[in-house]
Each structure stands twice: as structure tokens, then as C-alpha cells.
Structure 1
Amino acid sequence: MFDEDDLTEIRAEREEWEEETLGPVLDAHGERKERFATVSNHEVDRVYTPDDIADLDYSEDLGMPGEPPFTRGAYPTMYRGRTWTMRQFAGFGTAEETNERFHYLVDEGQTGLSTAFDMPSLMGIDSDHPMSEGEVGKEGVAVDTLRDMEVLFDGIDVGEVSTSFTINPSAAVIYAMYIALADQQGVPREEIRGTLQNDMLKEFIAQKEWVIPPEPSLDVVTDTVEFAVENTPKFYPISVSGYHIREAGSTAAQEAAFTLADGFAYLEDAMERGLDANEVAPLLSFFFNSHNSVFEEVAKFRAARRIWAEKTKEWYDAEADAARRLKFHTQTAGQSLTAQQPLNNIIRVTLQALAGVLGGTQSLHTNSYDEALALPSEDAVRVALRTQQIIAEESGVADIVDPMAGSFAIEKLTFEMEAEILAYIEEIRELGDGSVRDGVLAGIEEGYFHREIQEASYEYQKRVDSEEEVMVGVNRYVSDEDTSPEILKVDDEISEKQLARLEAVKEERDDDEVERTLGALDEAIERDENVMPAIIDAVKAYATMGEIMQVFQEHHGAYQERIGLA
């Protein structure tokens, strides 16, 4: 891209600058620290020039927005056509309270709903299970049966909204409930829009929520993919989630590498079912974290798009742009939020959100400033949403497609990020003897991912403890003042209300029909059939989340993670 004579001249100019201009300043004043690095501890240079990206091929490495390799963006017009989907996490207490929050967010201008579930729902047990005591409605909304889903979306046309569901082990049940709700409302299944997180590989790698072992868990995920291809083509059955990998302490490169590897694994598993990569890949969405180092995050997003575009074609013969186009949701870094001086979190979230936008995200969730203390209050949610709206409407950064392209620093960081990500993915492929899917499963079993993340997390904490990594208000610029805001408190009566509704549903439903549908699910698992039709029938009979998940556990057993992996 650059003439060799020009590069020779630039190198000479840099050497002269370092000697005559930079040197005296360094001798007299130095710099504010010896080493400059990103949150992931990736060292950055003082200045970048065309010499740093001398090998860049514009057509092959960048291209135009909306065209392979999609480095410059997934779509030609990006935010000039429409802004990213603005989502705020909502879910607490009973379905009635979350429904009220949904309506509030829509009225405030939110363009997509995002649902958080309580721990019992996430783990596939009912609110009346002994292990649910003290947890019902505390981290998100409690959903035991289709009745809860009916209340949750009361007054909301599921044909008009896009809804994201953050749930994994029991994701197939929530997907079935949403389909059943669409059937009730008369919305054609092919018209429902939304995203199911449903990323079980990530659970075994980082977040640690599971019911059955990895391989049968993967089978259920692929059942949802197969069903979505045939029945709900506008609904993303998996959100391949690096977010939780980063929250567990990974670096930016590890987050992207392990997430892309999981995506390739899901694609391979679906292809073994006989599905075509050009059908499956467009229904895989991704979910990334956006942390404090703005340029590192932008480089991560751009590198991830390029790798997905190239490897889906090279490894899986994907030819369609839709299959090679990586689309992703971004959430600002919960890990970075501090309980100390929580209003500082507004600035952190703003910078992280800006990185997501500059990196070309399709959907964005901004954390609320009080989330290090409790579930977000309405005031905090409003500020988080307004942050996105100000970026979209006032900053001007949404007016130019990939405004970072051509920056010597950004392009160099993107190449470095790409190389580091690919090195990890190749290690995973080697674990699977050429199969990414088998490599991911082997990596889970052998503790590969745990070791990599643990080491990165440990190194980061050492830098924080030594103040090499500055956390404003925590290890520098601290204050003895009580800066805690008013926080949202979930009433303990929530549990009583939820238990009463669950009891009423059990009394009113047809027990024979419940038994029949659960038996049909058991047979579908036994015959290795796609389980989605049976789960939909079961939820329509008002079988509970726990009853349905118990059928899977009876077949496959409970998963026990190996401890003490070296």
C-alpha cells in the first residue's frame, strides 16, 4: 500500500525525530511511566507510522464496508442507515415487575428488550425447589412456566419487538415458551425476532452454569439451531458469548479467540447434522465485552470480523456474505465497575460504549453505574440508555462508517490482535486433531481454558495491586466519603407471589397432559430426535422449567467439573 522509497524516507524521518526532537524531551522530563500497555497488558508504542503497516493490502485486509473481509463493518451504511439496537438488561422479581420495566424502557426509546433471569431459572429449577430459597427474583425475573412468560410480555406484541434472553442451560425451554407465546398471539413463527444466549460451551469455559455434561449440552444447542433454521429464521438461536470469558479475567485476545472457537464448534456440530454452513452461520450472533482500553477493543472487534469472514470460507466452504458476516452485540465491562465512587462508572461505561460503536457493533448494552452494588435502579438505567443516545445523536461518531480505518495505530493493533487470536485458535484445533469442536470439548475436559484465563486474571490483579494498572477511586484518587447511591432492593415478598402463581398453575393444568408431553420428550431424547417440538408441547401444557430439565438430567446425569486441573 506504500511505496518503498516513501517508507525509507519515513524511517529516516522517524530516526531523526527520535534523536533531535524526542530525545531532549525524554532526557529533560521523561514520561509518566516506564511502560504503556492496554488492560490486557499488550504493550503499545509511542507513535505509529506507515512503516508499521507496510504490508497492509487494502483490498485483502480492509476492503469496503459491508463486503468481505468485513474489517470495516458488517454493513455498507452502518449507523448512517440506522443506529445499533439499544438494549438495557431488564429482569427482577416477578414477571409483573419486569413487564413494567419493559414498558418503561420502550417508552424511554429503547429499541430492543433484553431479559435477565433469576438463578433458579438459569439453572433449570423451579421456584419451589429447596435450592431456590432466597434466590427467587433476586438476580433477574423468575420464570417457571408459560404463565410467567404470558405475564412478562403482557401488552407487548412479540411480532413487533426484538427480545434477547440471557439464559443458557435451560435456554431451549425459554425458546419454546417464546414460540408458544407467539403462537398464542397469532404471530407467525417465521416473524419472531430476538436472540437466545444458549452458549453452553462458554458456560463450561467460564461462567459455570450447567445441568448436563458438555456433549449432550451441545446436542441440545444444535437442536435449537436446527429448529431455528427451519422455523424461526429471524431469531438467533445462539449468542456466542465472549462477554463472560472476559469477565472471568481473560485478555481481549483470549476473549475473541475462545469465542470464535466456540462459534466454529457450533458450526461444525450443525454441519455434522447435515446442515449447510451458508444456512447456519447467518443465525449465529456473537456477544463481546468492551473494556477500558478503547483502541484495543476497536482492534479486537475488527480482527474478529476479519477472522470469521476468512475462516468460515476456508474451513467450511461458506460462500454467502451473510454466512461470513460476523454480527455481534456488545456489553460494557461489568468487571470494570467499582463500588467505590460509583458515579465514575458513568465515564467508564461511556468510553467502553464508544469503543463498541467505533468497532462496529450491531447491538449495545450499557451497564448502569450502580451495578457493582445491586440490580440497577430506574435512574441508573436511564443514564445508561441516555449514554447510548448521546453517542448516537450528538457525538458524530455514528456519521462515518469505520472512522478508525487507516489509522496507523489501529491497523497495526488489528494485525497484532488477529495474529494472537489465530494462534490460540490453532492451539485449540490441535487439541481436536484438526476439529475446532473436538478441540473445544477437549480443552474443557483438560482444563486448557481455565488455565489460560486464570493466569491472565492473576497477572491483571498483580498489576492492580502494584498500581501499574490504575483504577480511579480504588487504588488511586481514593476518597473516604460515602459515595453510595440509593440502590434497588427486591422485596422478599416476591418469592411468596411467585410461589403462589406456580402453585395455582399446577392446580389448574391438566396433569395427564403434562405427563404425556414429558413422556414424549423422554422418548425424543431416547431416539436422539430434535427435542424442540416436544419441549414446545410440554410448555404449552404448562409443564414447569424444572420438570422439563429433570427429564434431561435423568438421561444424561449431572455434570461434575474436574477439580485441581494442572
Structure 2
Amino acid sequence: MRDQPFFTQQDLDDANFDPHRDLGEPGQFPYTRGIQPTMYRGRLWTMRQYAGMGDAEASNLRYKFLLANGTAGLSVAFDLPTQIGYDSDDPMALGEVGKVGVAIDSIEDMERLFAGIPLDKISTSMTINSTASILLALYVAVARRHNIPLGKLSGTVQNDVLKEYIARGTYIYPVHHALRIVTDMLAWTTTNVPEWNTISISGYHMREAGSTAAQELAFTLANAIAYVQTALDAGMEIDAFAPRLSFFFNAHNDLFEEIAKFRAARRLWAHIMRDRFAAKNPRSWMLRFHTQTAGSTLTAQQPENNIVRTTLQALAAVLGGTQSLHTNGYDEALALPTEEAARIALRTQQILAHESGVAQSIDPLAGSYFLESLTNDIERQVQEYFAQIEAMSGMLKAIERGWVQQEIQNAAYRHQQQVDSGEVVVVGVNRYSQEEDPDIPTQTIDENLERQQVDRVRALRLRRNQQRCQSAIDAVTDAARNGANLMPAILEAVESCATVGEIAGAMRKVFGEYRESVVV
């Protein structure tokens, strides 16, 4: 399509494009033009900056810095041991504690993480998957300690385990057991924390791994279909949980392709939920999504150029109708962002919101011959992928066969070949390079924080009520074995000061661990 120099009404006519059917009005099915009738004229997107480093105190300081500078929601990055269910004193955690996010081992860490931050007034997103049930329970337990009604908690846990097997790798349990945990969380949260999004179905990491825009959308929606079907098979009612499903997409460099991707996503999901799953509640048809600018496009060479890249990507997300947005720091190809880089990233959103004028018009690009043709083309590509996935008996089989992983690897390889040949230009890397790059200050993590975190978790184990704690851990194992909903047992365990690693280990005893298939 990009070989075509310009577009006319004939292109839409050839595609049987019907403005009433395919566009509609903002806030109306199929939501191509946005899920809210007033979009940003009624309320701006949530500026939700992703952060987490070192221990709870260090991350708490960064959150307060971001809140003081105008961020409207928090987004928590956890370190690798927390993500895969190991405590900070586990030999598997050595050298990784607090490095790519905050180390959380217990309810005490979670309380320090949010000290002085009103959980009933701030929306919190947590990028956590295999241990999402435990981290959600910790968040709930902290709220209960402070007598905050659970109905006042709002936020999201990513909890998208399927994309871990595809693109990211922080999985623990075999796929069917991981899906069981997701479904237990859906059921428990729907009743107990009704304003919480229990899953953020994510294409972001697949795009970071090298997928195309169409692959990102197709595989994300196919994962979503698998989650919905699993919940239905467990006896849940579609309209009881579907309104709280949310999505997480990447905003990449190709401005119009990204805008078209977001618009196609809403239209596809609306038809999937209404026509395939027979959802009756219009809120079940609405695709709500968070966007993060593309970390994979950031360059260590001439890193200030990343400010421009991030601005364009953020603009695509806004024009595409995102509900919340994270903008990356310009120095993130080098290290975790400094305060200066985090401030510039946030200011980028604020300038878009308040100075650019793009928030004043609802879906201003609707009706463009080019954009509508591009939206149709992405939708067509996604439908073709759906047909291939259905031919393999669904997404779980496609993942287990390694087909999805191979498709992404092939796309990543093709793109790298284009960069290496110069067909795709990366400014400052394969064109317009310079001999010396400027010396950019980078964020460093205090090496003493790991030892301090190890000492904390060991001290906690010595002073807690051991009988209560062990009984609660055993109850998690029992629930995993007998099929009971896991969340009540996990909540009791975190409140008894059981650690993340102990609770994950209790489930490992029953579920075992996943071993990845080799894709060649």
C-alpha cells in the first residue's frame, strides 16, 4: 500500500467502504472514531508514566516526583526476580535485585512503595504477569490495612501471560495453569474490586520483539479471544467481566500506520465481542487501551533524537484515541531514565495536550482517503492472521507450536536486513551519524540496595507469625490442587507476611514450570 502515491474515493469504493457501517460516530459502534462521544474534549487521556527501580523507597521517591510534575496515574515496573516469583535472597535473584524495576518481596515492601500516596485517589497500573495474582493481592492488602474500601481502588495489572510465552519470557507455569490463575483473578476481582482492570492484553512486547503493526494487532486480539473463551468455559458471564478487559499497545514510528492500527483495533474488537461472543452490554464492545512509545526505536547514538521519536509516537497514540499514555525517556537506550529524562517525557505529553490543539477535535483524520484505506488494509491483514490461527485450532495451539514466535522472528529479521542495507533509515545510526556522541548522564542503582533488600526479607521471616504464615502458604498449595479460586488463599498468605517467592513456590509445587519449545 505504501507504494501508492496518493488515494482517492475510488480506493474506498473498491474496498466497499461504508462510512455509516465502518466509521459511525465517536462513542458509537463500531467505535472506529473512539469509545467516547467527546473524546479528549471531555477528558484528557491519563498521563501514566512507567517507573520503578531499586527498592520501594527509591521508587516511592520517583512516583512522588512524577505526581508533583503532573502525572495523573502511576505505572509500576518490577524487577526480574519479582516478575518470575523469586525472593530477593534467592540465589536465582543474585545481581538482578532492583535492576530493571522495583524489588517487592512482601506486604511491607508494598506498603513502603505507596507510602504517602492515596490509593483511593490514584489509579495504579502494574506491569506484572506470572505473579500478577500475588502483586494484586499485596496491593489489596495494603489498601485493607489503611481501611480503604476496595470499591475505590482503580487500576490495572497486566496479567497477560500468553504474550510471555510469545515474546517476553517471564513465565513460570505451563500455559493451561497460567490461564487458570488469570481466570481466577477475573472472577474474584469482578466481585471484590469492581473498578480494577484485571488484565491488560498486550501487543507492546510483541512489537518490541520485532512484529509488524498488523501482527501486533492480530496476535493481541487472538490472545484476547483465548482469554475470553477460557473465562466462558469456566462458567463466567461475558458481560460480567468483558467491560473490565483492557489492552496495551505500542506506538511506533510510522505515524499514520499507528493511527490506523488503533482505529482498526477498536472496530475489530467491537465485532468480535458483539458478533462472536454475543455480548449485550455496549461497554463489552469497547476496546480501551493504554499506549507506550516504542522502546525498540530508541537509539544509544545521538540519544537526544529520541525526544523527537517519542513525540511523534505519542502524537500517533493521541490521534489514535488512546485512554492512557506513557512516553519513554530519551536516555532509555542507555539506562533507566534520569529525573530530567522522565520530566521531559512527561512534558511531551503535556505540550501535546495543552499546546498542540490535537485534543480539541474528535478523531480529526476520519474520512481521509489514505487513513481509511490504511485502516481497512490493517484490518484485512489481521483477518488473514485470524484465519491461519483458527486453522491451527486457536491461539494456544499456535503458541505451543511456536508458529506465532516464528512469525515475529521472521518479521524482525526482515526489518533488520532493511536497516543493515540502508533501505530503512535510522537517523544517527545508519545515516547522519557522527564520530562522537555527547556524554549523557545516566541513572545508576545503588549497589547496596540489593544487600539491604536481602536483609529486609530475611528479617521479616524471623519476626512474622510462622504458624499462621505456613498455614496460609499450605492453603495456596491446596487451592491450586483442588481447583478452588486461588485469590482468597493468596490474599490471606500476603496478609500473613508470606513472600512473593514462597507463594509462587506453593503453586510451583502443583503446577510445575513451563519449558519453552525450541523454534528453528
* Aligned with residue 88 of structure 2, among 127, 135, 142: 127
> Contact between 1:238 and 1:285, CA under 8 Å: does it hold in 2?
yes
| Inter-partner Cα distance in structure 1 for 2:116 and 2:459 | 22
What is residue 442 of structure 1 aligned with on the other side? Answer: 397
What is residue 3 of structure 1 aligned with on the other side? Answer: none
Structure 2 counterparts to residues 416-431 of structure 1, below 5 A? 416-431=377-392
Runs of 4+ with >6 A deviation: none
* Aligned with residue 11 of structure 2, among 52, 58, 61: 52
| Paired positions, count | 518
| Inter-partner Cα distance in structure 2 for 1:424 and 1:185 | 48
> Contact between 2:477 and 2:509, CA under 8 Å: does it hold in 1?
no
What is residue 234 of structure 1 aligned with on the other side? Answer: 195
* Aligned with residue 99 of structure 1, among 47, 60, 63: 60
CA-to-partner distance for each residue in 1:67-100, whole Å, 9 max, x for gaps?
A: 1000000111110011100011110011001111
CA-to-partner distance for each residue in 1:141-165, whole Å, 9 max, x for gaps?
A: 0000010000001011111100000
* Aligned with residue 470 of structure 1, among 425, 432, 436: 425
What is residue 33 of structure 1 aligned with on the other side? Answer: none
Residue 481 of structure 1 aligns to a residue whose secondary structure is coil
Structure 2 counterparts to residues 140-539 of structure 1, below 5 A? 140-432=101-393, 439-539=394-494
> Contact between 1:341 and 1:484, CA under 8 Å: does it hold in 2?
no
Could you tell me which runs of 5 or more consecutive residues in structure 2 were left unpaired when the two chains were aligned.
none
CA-to-partner distance for each residue in 1:267-319, whole Å, 9 max, x for gaps?
A: 11111121111122111100000100000000000001000001111111012
User: More displaced, 219-228 or 496-505?
Assistant: 496-505
| Inter-partner Cα distance in structure 1 for 2:396 and 2:122 | 35
Give the residue type in structure 1 aligned to 2:404: F
| Inter-partner Cα distance in structure 1 for 2:486 and 2:249 | 29
CA-to-partner distance for each residue in 1:449-496, whole Å, 9 max, x for gaps?
A: 111001100100000001100000000000012324100000100111
> Contact between 1:339 and 1:484, CA under 8 Å: does it hold in 2?
no
> Contact between 1:294 and 1:352, CA under 8 Å: does it hold in 2?
yes
TM-score w.r.t. the length of structure 1 is 0.91
| Inter-partner Cα distance in structure 2 for 1:280 and 1:427 | 28
> Contact between 1:287 and 1:329, CA under 8 Å: does it hold in 2?
yes
CA-to-partner distance for each residue in 1:376-424, whole Å, 9 max, x for gaps?
A: 0000000000000000000001111101100110000000000101111
CA-to-partner distance for each residue in 1:415-435, whole Å, 9 max, x for gaps?
A: 000010111112112211xxx
Who wins on radius of gyration, i.e. which is larger? 1
Give the residue type in structure 1 aligned to 2:463: E
What percent of counterpart residues are identical? 49
Tell me by how many angstroms 1:128 deviates: 0.1
What is residue 113 of structure 1 aligned with on the other side? Answer: 74
> Contact between 1:342 and 1:484, CA under 8 Å: does it hold in 2?
no
> Contact between 1:376 and 1:488, CA under 8 Å: does it hold in 2?
yes
Could you tell me which runs of 5 or more consecutive residues in structure 1 were left unpaired when the two chains were aligned.
1-41, 433-438
Residue 48 of structure 2 aligns to a residue whose secondary structure is strand
Tell me by how many angstroms 1:44 deviates: 4.2
> Contact between 1:116 and 1:166, CA under 8 Å: does it hold in 2?
yes
| Inter-partner Cα distance in structure 2 for 1:369 and 1:532 | 39
> Contact between 2:11 and 2:369, CA under 8 Å: does it hold in 1?
yes
> Contact between 2:352 and 2:358, CA under 8 Å: does it hold in 1?
yes
Q: 1:484 to 1:241 in 2, by over 3 A?
A: farther
Give the residue type in structure 1 aligned to 2:493: A
Give the residue type in structure 2 aligned to 1:317: A
What is residue 62 of structure 1 aligned with on the other side? Answer: 23
Residue 87 of structure 1 aligns to a residue whose secondary structure is strand
Tell me by how many angstroms 1:125 deviates: 0.2
TM-score w.r.t. the length of structure 2 is 0.99
Q: 1:399 to 1:44 in 2, by over 3 A?
A: farther
